[in-house]
Amino acid sequence: MPGPVVAVLDYGIGNLRSAEKALQRCGARAFLTSDADDVEAADAVVLPGVGAFGRCRDALSRTGLDDVALAAIASGRPFLGICVGMQLLYDASEETPGVTGLGVLPGVVRRLPDGVKHPQMQWNRVDVLTETPLFEGLGDRPWMYFVHSFAPEGTQDVIATCDYGGPVTAAAHRHNVVATQFHPEKSGALGLALMGNFVDMARRGVVSNTTTGAGGR
């Protein structure tokens, strides 16, 4: 049986091909695209991102992929945000005051705590807080790779944190949207397993928590 079709939004920012290749290794028919029709026809959608919040938000707007992303989310299909792609899903970021995010996940992206090195550029354990298909089979504290100076504030949607001068948001889940602050495509076998879980969600067309906490409002 052919794998699910996964559209990786290509808005010209960062190494998008690493996410595409990881999804392909997990059995998805993944491809980079900036075409709205391609995205509409896909089983699931991925929004990667690296660099500054404002620059990524501007690129997303200039390509028209902000509206395409919102339409994909509204359709109920599985949607994954990665790193700055996760941050763009929130209302705003302290990194770029005055620039609004997509507002899919309520909350603000905050600078990492004082007293730790900025950026966090390292492997770190992820503390999984609630049962979710995204982390199925990965254990309670998988190692993942982080590169960031900002992270979303703690909200009801948070499903995983890491310890970096205190608890820092590592993943969130709200309805059909899942998002990771770490880079699963750069996180070795466990990161690939997480991507595989997302591909399985795309195959089944379901992204729901088994608990009523995060993502279940």
Active site residues per annotation: 83, 183, 185
- The encoded tokens of residue 77 equal 């299909």
Q: Which residue, among 127, 122, 205, 119, has the nearest Cα to 170 in the 3D structure? A: 127
Strands in the chain per DSSP E: 5-9, 29-33, 44-47, 79-82, 90-93, 105-111, 120-125, 127-128, 143-148, 150-152, 158-163, 167-174, 177-180
Q: Which residue, among 160, 157, 165, 57, has the nearest Cα to 111 in the 3D structure? A: 165
Contacts of 212 (CB under 8 A, 6+ apart): none
